[in-house]
Structure 1
Amino acid sequence: MMRNFWIGCAALLWAAGAAVAQDVAFIQVEAQPSLRRAEERARDYASYLQDVNGFALGGGWYSIALGPYDPDEAQALLQRLRAQGQVPRDSYLAAPDDFQRRFWPVGAGPVVIDRALEAPDTDLEQALAAVEDPAQADPAQTDPAPAPVIDETPREARASEARLNRAEREQLQIALRWAGYYNAAIDGAFGRGTRGSMADWQAANGFEATGILTTMQRSELLRQYNAVLDGMGMEVVSEPRAGVVMQMPMGVVEFAKYESPFVHYDASTDLGARVLLISQPGDQDTLYGLYEIMQTLEIVPLEGDRERRANGFTLTGANARIVSHTEARLEGGAIKGFTLIWPAGDEERRTRVLGLMQSSFDTTAPVLDPAAVSEEMPSVDLLSGLQVRRPKLTASGFYVNAAGDVVTSAEAVEACGRITLDGVHDAQVTASDAASGIAVLRPTTRLAPQSVAAFRNGRPRLQSEVAVAGYSFGGVLSKPSMTFGTLEDLRGLGGEENVKRLALASLPGDAGGPVLDAGGAVLGMLLPREEGGRQLPEEVSFAAKAEDIRAVLSRAGITADATESIGVMAPEDLTAVASGMTVLVSCWE
């Protein structure tokens, strides 16, 4: 507390000394990094304020300032202008020696002080007492009540409007369209349609409906338009290792890691937004490879537009959880781009953020080192730190004809947004029988299986050896696994006539796979284990019968092969036949 007290005393002593030494003050309004823009802003301020000056500051910066004034007058005027919203709230008092050459008014020359402006005496004892006890502060030093807001006349508004450049005029039309008052072309031309929309907006916001927006009204319209970005913290980020410069919503994301070819910015709030910067050396083949790889990731949902060009690509994707946008381009042996991942249902804010990112995107020379990786443990489900898209369920199936029709478990393909065979070939359900648990799939493009099922005619012998081919581990292995057992009964445990009971320890991924005899003939299809209820020993499995499968196929207009063979194959030959007909069935959201 005492430390803060003495700091306050020192500040007041310094301020008092400065006031005595300085007899003239200016109100520093804003600074611009270019003379052209500074002249435009000075002209704008001069349309509704007096005593507008423009000064060079050095280092390529230019100031707009009001003055010169007596310091007390300057302080009072500053407070009044702030209260009226006519100058930025961060405007402050500045001394004449802060400025260099005057450029505004044009041709006016240096500022001439033609009257004595003396700073008032300052009572240092009273200032110190006010630090110790604010109640002792001089009431005359308190801020005056805000003065009534004085806006521009229509003539003044038209004059200030005339100084807007095309981009600023188009921005007003965009804001009017967003507000629901304008539905014509964004062309920067203020014709009858634009004037009418301005008048409608003025009336809806409590202003006189003149059809000409004043400087203050233009500011209010743009404030409303940009309110959706409040909290987004849009700022220009220059990523030195990736060589990417762009505006990013740093209020909701934060740097996480480098994982070539990406720079990860993860969510910093519960909004759940994420950004990836893309940077890698490469050529067109590398670009096209990245295009394909990106589509295997969870952050790029399946539904959405895709466009691949000679020197770039764009990917969009949407599902019930997220909307993502990815764009990349190839220039000078480097691929640069970005991905924005945003929660679904927040489209207005997403499109505004995306638009700012796209319009500000730029590149510099550096390219992210391909060896740049995080220290996280590698995972088969991750690619450069991103989750590879996984199906919600996998099962097995088997080809039943040369066209590529597949038999699988009906349970495995219920409520799927998309079904694939071997992870790449799209398929559709053409028949399903709930009673037997059998479904038939047809690929959207004709396939050429290595082998197809031949269903065994006749009654199989009990206790004979059988085998199930299936993707036991959900596609982690590239080929199906073989599980061997015996045929225990031609009925279920409760006497069910439509299933066979097997002594075979299957896994969930095997469901839908073919049950074969020792000669390679198909005896049935493995059924999934029942969830809940009584738990059976793991070596107890059940299969749909071959005759029921053939009946379902027949109703679907498919004729299946049959065989009388009861010969015995060598294990390696049986494995080859089973692998050729068995296929991975994936159910996606």
Structure 2
Amino acid sequence: MPRPVRPLAAGLLPLLVWGVLAPGGVLAQGTGQAPGQPPGASRPGSPPAPDPVFEAARAAFEARPEAERRAVQDALVWAGSYNSVVTGTFGRRTYEAIGAWQGRTGGAGTGILDEAGRAALIAAGEAARRAARFTVAPDPATGLVIGVPERLLPKRARVPGGSRWQSPDGRVTLDTKAFAPGDTDLDALFAQSTAAAPDRKVTYTLKRPDFMVVTGETPAGKFYIRHAAGPAGLRGFTLSYDKATAREMDRLVIAIANSFVPFPGEAPVAPPRPVATMPDPGAPAGGAVSGTGLVVGPRRIVTVLPGPCAGPQAAGQPARILRRDEGSGLTLLEGAAPAAPSAVLAPAPGAPGEDVIALAAGADGPVVTTGALATGGVLAPLQPGAAGAPVLDRSGRLLGLVARMPTQARLVAGVLPPLTHPLVGLEALKALLGPDAPAPPGAETRPMSAGAVAGRLAGAVVPVRCGP
């Protein structure tokens, strides 16, 4: 099994900075005795014996195209499992991060992603990126390229020599800065950034001929300073944030630092990623996802409609309400349901703390979210539009539907946190569906990974909306 990954807050910034130094952009990802290696397998001072599990994971990872390898590492950053530089190269941290992700999502922790697992990881990373509205683009004021979590930092202004992005309450600030050749040098900036002050403690410094990094703390906050030198002068950024936001900002520091390109003309830069706005499930505009439906049989779709619904549509086609429970909003629709495997009902309600998977309809396809059953509902970072989303156990059996969702996402430091959402359970489903209820499985179903569950049932999840 992979060794446990340290929490992001522990040693985060030194790890992130050190990865930049490895020759050729390859991460300095650690050495030492491999997981599972017996003590004494190698003589002191000799190289550690090869770990066949690690080497198999390396071979599987390196067999993928570079763009896919980078996408996996980027998704691991957003999933909170990886705290180093996105390079597309494989090392111990990538191996452990994949294992940690698999462990959290019910996998075996092998460090090898199958197609379904890779898709689930990429979807989870993209969902977190969208929740932050993280946009990588050139800064016109300085010429550098940087990623900005625009949902957290919506305020933008020009400042002398650069740009400033800030949170509405001023507790998080990102400043870019450019200096023309001859205005100053890296030594002077480093001395200024590391100067002692009674209300400021420097926690980490690194200086090389072409770049510098300084991190530290104040009584109420944390900061990260980075500058690079080149023929065009000096370019860099400073990120400062309140300690109350540190849990989420420590992850965003990684994403911002990984996106930073001081002189984009000297290296290829990935094009800015499109940022999808979060649909408002209360909006009747054409194409908006109001909620989620689950195919339970031929032309049968079950969903939750908290309020009146004129002109219901499922999967983009007109639908008709067959039965509805006014108390819970649980509704059975007749419509052009796609041919897809239908979920089966679990034999019994799950217990609080049990790991579950929610499949919600999104603007670009099903959104896979992992969570846990909680007293009164399901604890998960669900997006608006997840009302009616099926909640499944690790065997892919239906435990209930998400009862309702707020019309706007509640964000913490720009990222959607897990919240407890009410659940329409098995008894209500059986009562409403009656003869349309999916038949229970004939034999016990083995546990599966979240990716396998999603891969089996994603085709049975459809968007539902009200209105013409």
Question: How does the TM-score come out when normalised to structure 2?
Answer: 0.34
Question: Larger RCO: Structure 1 or Structure 2 (Cα < 8 Å, ≥ 6 residues apart)?
Answer: 2
Highest Rg: 1 or 2? Answer: 1
Question: How does the TM-score come out when normalised to structure 1?
Answer: 0.28
